[in-house]
Structure 1
Amino acid sequence: MIIKKIPVLLVSTLCLFGVWVKGSNGPEQPNLPIRAEAALLMDFHSGRVLFSKNESEKLFPASTTKVLTAWVAIKHGELNEQVKVGKEVSFRSPGESTAWLKEGQTLTLRELLIGMMLPSGNDAARTVAVHIGKKHLGTPNISDEEAINHFVAMMNQQAEEVGANHSHFMNPTGLHHPEHYSTAEDLALISKAVMKHKDFQEIVNLQNFTNPLLTYQNTNKLLDSNSTYYFKGTNGIKTGFTDEAGYCLISSAERNGKEYIAVVLKSSQDGVWKDSTTLLNKGFSTSP
C-alpha cells in the first residue's frame, strides 16, 4: 500500500510545484500571433505589461530612437525658441529620411521636432542635437560633432533615469551603429515617460503639418484615416526602419479613458502594422 501511494504523492507534489513555478513567473500572457522579433504591450496609466515577447533582447531601434531625442530636446529647450539650421544638414547620405532642411533656414524648435517625428528627418534630428548640445554646455563655439556627442550623452543619461538600463545610444537619428541598441521594454519605458508631456503628445498626434517653408506627412499609418492600417484612437508615436533593424513601431492609442503603448521591433513591412494592431486590440479588449 505504501508503494502504491508514493507515486500519487509525488504526482500531487509535482503538480503543486508546477503551479507555484508558473505563478512565480507572473500572470499568464495571451498567445498572440506576433511575428516581430520583439514586442511589448503596456498600460500607459499603470505601467502594467499585458504582453511581451523577447522584451529584453537588445535590438537596433532605427528611428524609434527619435522619441528619446525629442524628449531630451523638450526637457532642455523651449519649443518657441528660434534655431538656425547649420552645416549639419549637409551630412545627409543617399536614402536617408529627411525633413528637407536647408542651411541658413531659421525654424522654431517645435517645427524641427515636427520635421524629426513626422517624416523622420535625420537632418532635423542632427540640427536639434547640435542646438541643444551647445545650449546645454553653454559654449556655442564648439564643433557640431562635440555638440552632438554631448547630446547623445544626455540621451543615455535620460534613458537611465527611467530605468531603460539595457539600451545604449550612439546618435540622435537611429542610423545603424553596432553599439546603438535598445529593447522593447526600454522603449516602452521611455515612451511612457515622454508621452506625459503635452507638447510631445500634440506633435506625434499630427497626421500632417504645413508652414510657409515645409509640408510633412506622418509616416505612422495607424494615424491615417485613409490608410487600411488606420487604428481608431491612435495618438502616436514613431516609426523606424533600417536594413539591420527591420521595420519598427512604437504606437499609442487611447479610447474611453484607456490608453496603451505597443512596441514592435524587427518586423516586416506589412507585419509591423498588423503586429501593432493586434497588440492594441488586445489592450482594449482587456478588462480593467
Structure 2
Amino acid sequence: MKREKGATAMKRLAAAFGIALIVIAAFQASGSPYASKARSLVERTVGTAVSTVASGGLQAEYALVIDAETGKTIYAKNERERAYPASTTKIVTALLALELGKPDELVTVGDEALPEDPEESRAGLKPGQRLKLYDLVEAALLPSGNDAARTIAVHFGRKAAGDPQLDEDAAQREFAKLMNKRAKKAGATNTRFVNASGLHDPNHYTTARDIALIAKDAMANKLFRQAVRATDYTASTGAAGAGGFAKAAWSNTNQLLQPGSAHYFEGATGIKTGFTDQAGYCLVSSASKGGKSVIAVVLRSTSKDVYPDAKKLLELGLGTAGDPAATKS
C-alpha cells in the first residue's frame, strides 16, 4: 500500500486520536471493568504514546510535535492558530546572531540593557560591559535575558542600517525586520515579531507550527544546538576600554535539561522556555533517542502543566518519529 499523503493521512491520524480519547474516557468515567481492555485495544491500534496523550490530555492551548529532520507532524493541537510566543522569541534572536556574526566578536552593552519591565527576566548586563557574541547568545537563552536579547538586536540592527550611531529603539526595529525575514525563510507564514525578547505586544505573534519550523532551522546550526543544550554557562565580561574581566554565570531555565529537576527528561537537547501573562507558560523543547530527534511546542500552558505537556509530546514523538504513520501537514 502506498503511503498516504498530507491531508488524508492527517485526517486519519486525527480520527484515531479522537477515537482513542472517546473510548478511554467513556470506560474510565463509567468505572467499567473493561477500561483496561479498552486501553489495551487503543494501544494496539494507535500506539501506547497516543493512548497516553489521549487519556492524559494536554493543558496547553496550542501544541505540536514534529520530526526534527523531516518536519513531519506527529501530533498537533491548534497548531495553526495565532498565539503569543513570549521568550521562545529568543530562538530566532539567537539564531540570527549566530548566522550574522562571529562567536568571538566583541559586543558593547548599551542603555538597551536597562529594564523595560520591572518583572522581566534578565541576565544582569550593565551598560558599558563588553561580551563575546556567543556569550551574549547564552545570556539571552539560558537565563532568558531580555537585556541580552535587546543588546543583540541593537548590535545587528545598527549593522543592518549601516549606522553605528543609530538610536536603540530604531536599531531594534531594524532587527525586527531581520527576524521576520528569517522567520519567513524557515516557512513561518503566520508570524510577526516586533521585538527581540518576546515582551508582550499585541502585534507580536506566531503559531505552534511556525515556531516549530523556526526551531527546526535553529537546531540545524551547530553553535545554536550547543548553546541550548548547556545546563550552565560562565562568561567573562569587561568594561569597554578597561583592563580585566569579571565572571558572569547563568543556569538554563529549561528544567528538562537539569538532572536534579523533577522535570528532567533523558535525551532532552533544548530549547527555550517562555512566559508572559498573556502568553501563559510556553516551552519549545527537543529530544533525541535511538537515532530519532523531535521538536515539541507547548504554548499557553500552566505553570504546573507546561513540563508534563512537553514530556508527553516528546515521548509521543520519540515513539513514532520516522514511522510512516507520522504525517506532514
TM-score (norm 1): 0.90
Question: Residue type matched to 1:239 in 2?
Answer: T
SS at match of 2:194: coil
Moved more, 27-36 or 55-64: 27-36
Q: Distance in 2 between matches of 1:285 and 1:73?
A: 34
State yes or no: 1:249 paired with 2:283. yes
Q: Name the residue aligned to 2:13.
A: 28
Q: Distance in 2 between matches of 1:133 and 1:83?
A: 13
SS at match of 1:73: helix
Question: Residue type matched to 1:213 in 2?
Answer: K
Q: 2:69 aligns with which of 33, 41, 45?
A: 45
Quote the offset at 1:108 in angstroms.
0.5
State yes or no: 1:203 paired with 2:227. yes
State yes or no: 1:285 paired with 2:319. yes
Q: Name the residue aligned to 1:193.
A: 217
Moved more, 80-89 or 28-37: 28-37
Task: Confirm or deny: 8 A CA contact 1:238 1:251 kept in the other structure.
Answer: yes
Q: Name the residue aligned to 2:96.
A: 72
Structure 2, unmatched stretches of 5+, are 1-6, 22-52, 236-245, 324-329
Quote the offset at 1:89 in angstroms.
1.1
Quote the offset at 1:25 in angstroms.
4.7
Q: 2:201 aligns with which of 173, 177, 185?
A: 177
TM-score (norm 2): 0.79
Quote the offset at 1:62 in angstroms.
0.2
Q: 1:67-92: per-residue Cα shift (whole Å, max 9, x none)?
A: 01111111111111000111111244
Q: Distance in 2 between matches of 1:248 and 1:25?
A: 25
Quote the offset at 1:158 in angstroms.
0.8
Q: Distance in 2 between matches of 1:99 and 1:56?
A: 32
Q: Name the residue aligned to 1:274.
A: 308
State yes or no: 1:219 paired with 2:219. no
Q: 1:140-168: per-residue Cα shift (whole Å, max 9, x none)?
A: 01111111100001101111112101111
Question: Residue type matched to 1:112 in 2?
Answer: L
Quote the offset at 1:45 in angstroms.
1.0
SS at match of 1:52: strand
Q: Name the residue aligned to 1:61.
A: 85
Task: Confirm or deny: 8 A CA contact 1:76 1:136 kept in the other structure.
Answer: no
SS at match of 2:247: coil
The percentage of aligned residue pairs carrying the same residue is: 45
Q: Name the residue aligned to 1:239.
A: 273
Q: Distance in 1 between matches of 2:157 and 2:144?
A: 20
State yes or no: 1:105 paired with 2:105. no
**1:70-149, aligned counterparts within 5 Å?**
70-149=94-173
Q: 1:14-62: per-residue Cα shift (whole Å, max 9, x none)?
A: xxxxxxxx93654414452111000000000111100000001101100
Q: 1:148-201: per-residue Cα shift (whole Å, max 9, x none)?
A: 100001101111112101111110000000111110000000000111000000
Task: Confirm or deny: 8 A CA contact 1:239 1:248 kept in the other structure.
Answer: yes
CA-atom RMSD, angstroms? 1.4
Q: Distance in 2 between matches of 1:105 and 1:40?
A: 39
